[in-house]
């Protein structure tokens, strides 16, 4: 398995001290939120060629590759999986633009969490929501397949304002129903901790391992890493089932101590990976 970190852990202006540190720790992959990575573009979905080259050269100098993209619907308006026809169409159109951007940046994995964009309206039944999700993600699967991109569905607990795919068991069942090779799921430790399923982690990984395409090592509310014993157990189980893909540290950047928190988190995870 390979360790990476999401760029939501630092402020844009800190990247020039973060990048050298990461490479010194032999971290060669980055997970990005596109709006942060393409911070110098008026419209990150339509990056200007010259500026895009500059963005990519910054990480190319450190021999990084972007391995995953998250925060796919950050700051969007009117894009809802279970909205009316217009809102659902906006959701699909935006997602297709994200897929096209991922291809341009040569990113193989898209993390779809976006809790507020997948809320089920009170007037909609859960079974009807599942049918819509299956239909939409089969459509997006076909689009992503053109570029050899995998869409990985992330579970979001109710505390994040979501009422759909609130735990990994629900997400696993939906992935199986969608039944497409490039629709997989995320194992997110923050979700496991919030839902108090940490004591069931062995069973969870055993059941879902074939569908896990990406792992987020995170704390509830994306705070800095502290549940080291639990993370050690997660990594041990992943190794048991020969998981060889990326494990990404996911933590939210604050106004102070970003660099120190990143150094501490990477150091702690490096001891157990």
CB atoms within 10 A of CB 106: 13
The answer to whether residues 29 and 266 touch, using CB atoms and an 8 Å cutoff, is no
pLDDT in tens, 147-175: 999 999 999 999 999 999 999 999 999 99
CB crowding 190-202: b at 16 or more within 10 Å, else e: bbbbbbeebeebe
Q: Would the pTM count as exceeding 0.75? A: yes
Show the tokens assigned to 79. Answer: 């894009």
pLDDT, average across residues 23-43: 95
pLDDT over threshold 80, residue 255: no
Show the tokens assigned to 94. Answer: 């935006």
Show the tokens assigned to 203. Answer: 């069973």
pLDDT at 9: 97
The answer to whether residues 266 and 23 touch, using CB atoms and an 8 Å cutoff, is no
**3-class DSSP string for 11-27:** CHHHHHHHHHHHHHCCC
CB atoms within 10 A of CB 84: 11
Helix (H) or strand (E) holding 271: helix 258-272
**CATH (domain of 173):** 3.20.20.150
Residue-by-residue DSSP string for 159-211: GGT--SS-SHHHHHHHHHHH--TTEEEEEEHHHHHHTT-GGGHHHHHHHHGGG
The answer to whether residues 31 and 5 touch, using CB atoms and an 8 Å cutoff, is yes
pLDDT at 273: 87
Residues β-bridged to residue 112: 153
Residues β-bridged to residue 150: 109
pLDDT in tens, 123-151: 999 999 999 999 999 999 999 999 999 99
How big is the CA angle at 185 (ends 179 and 188), to the nearest 5 degrees? 160
pLDDT at 240: 97
pLDDT in tens, 80-121: 999 999 999 999 999 999 999 999 999 999 999 999 999 999
Q: Model confidence at 1, in pLDDT bands (50, 70, 90)?
A: confident
Count of domains for the chain: 1
- Write down the residue that tokens 């992959």 correspond to: 29
Interatomic CA distance for residues 258 and 170, integer angstroms: 33
pLDDT at 108: 98
Q: Range of 247's domain? A: 2-272
Interatomic CA distance for residues 128 and 138, integer angstroms: 16
pLDDT at 257: 82
* Residue 222 burial class via C-beta count within 10 angstroms: exposed 0-12, middle 13-18, buried 19 and up: middle
Interatomic CA distance for residues 165 and 171, integer angstroms: 5
pLDDT over threshold 80, residue 210: yes
pLDDT over threshold 90, residue 254: no
pLDDT in tens, 44-94: 999 999 999 999 999 988 889 999 999 999 999 999 999 999 999 999 999
């Amino acid at each position: 398995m390979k360790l990476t970190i999401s760029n939501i852990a630092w402020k844009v202006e800190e990247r020039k001290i973060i990048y050298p540190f990461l490479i010194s720790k032999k971290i060669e992959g980055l997970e990005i939120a596109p709006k942060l990575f393409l911070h110098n573009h008026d419209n990150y979905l339509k990056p200007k060629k010259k500026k895009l080259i500059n963005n990519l050269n910054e990480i190319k100098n450190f021999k990084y590759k972007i391995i995953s993209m998250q925060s796919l619907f950050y700051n969007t308006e009117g894009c809802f999986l279970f909205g009316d026809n217009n809102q659902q169409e906006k959701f699909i159109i935006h997602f297709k633009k994200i897929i096209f951007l991922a291809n341009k940046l040569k990113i193989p994995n898209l993390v779809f969490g976006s809790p507020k964009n997948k809320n089920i309206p009170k007037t909609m039944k859960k079974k009807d929501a599942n049918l819509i999700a299956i239909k939409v993600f089969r459509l997006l699967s076909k689009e992503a397949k053109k570029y050899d991109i995998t869409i990985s569905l992330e579970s979001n607990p109710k505390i994040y304002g979501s009422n759909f795919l609130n735990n990994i068991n629900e997400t696993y069942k939906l992935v199986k129903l969608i039944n497409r090779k490039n629709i997989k799921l995320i194992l997110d430790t923050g979700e496991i901790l919030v839902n108090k399923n940490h004591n069931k982690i062995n069973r969870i990984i055993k059941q879902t391992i074939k569908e896990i395409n990406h792992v987020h090592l995170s704390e509830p509310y994306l705070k800095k890493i502290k549940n080291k014993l639990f993370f050690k157990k997660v990594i041990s189980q992943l190794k048991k089932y020969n998981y060889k893909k990326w494990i990404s540290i996911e933590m939210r950047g604050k106004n102070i101590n970003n660099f120190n928190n990143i150094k501490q988190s990477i150091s702690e995870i490096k001891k157990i990976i």
